[in-house]
Amino acid sequence: MNYRLPTFRTERLTLRPFEEEDFDSLRLLETDLDVVKYLGNGKIRNAEETRRYLEKHFGDYKAYGLGLYAVIENKTEHFIGRSGLIPWEIDRKLEWEVGCTLTKNSWGSGYASELADFLKHWAFKHMEIQYLIGIINPQNTRSIRVANKMGLEFWKFLDIEDQKHSVYRLFKDGKR
């Protein structure tokens, strides 16, 4: 990669750009049916799909200087998921989503809320945006709870891979 990307650090976690060496860790995350249940079409990706997904992130880094990152637990230095500010084109407009997918053994730790809160504050301070979004399967109550904790409110529905998802939104100035 010829471009410089930020690395982020919270009290317990590090977010760093994905590297080729993360492929196997990403594959493990994406082959856990409980983890992928509410993502996209809810199905496990095969190795080629995971490769394309990783390449998409490299493309986002080059195009936007941000994207979905690897999440590393500071205490253990283990890969525990992916999170970041994800660019989406919705209705021909660039939107930025705060996204997070963690390994099952990380669920219930407060990591998702920690990441979402950090990314929200960072984005509103460093990006020229009016709002952030969260795209969530309507049955994913854990993610809805995290979105509500960070102040996102339901905005509209969006079809992704033939699945209906709820889009939540939070304005920088708190206004609608």
Kindly report, residue by residue over 102-134, the tens digit of the pLDDT: 999 999 999 999 999 999 999 999 999 999 999
**Host domain of residue 67:** 8-171
* 1 inside domain: no
Can you give the pTM of this predicted structure? 0.92
Residue 2: is its pLDDT beyond 50?
no
C-alpha 84/C-alpha 166 separation (Å) is: 19
Residue 175: is its pLDDT beyond 90?
no
H helix intervals, the chain = 23-30, 33-36, 47-64, 111-126, 141-149
* 31 inside domain: yes
Nearest to 77 by CA among 9, 29, 23, 28: 9
Domain holding 159: CATH number?
3.40.630.30
* 156 inside domain: yes
Domain count, the chain: 1
**Mean pLDDT, rounded, for 157-173:** 90
C-alpha 171/C-alpha 168 separation (Å) is: 10
With beta carbons less than 8 A apart as the criterion, state whether 69 and 84 touch.
Answer: yes
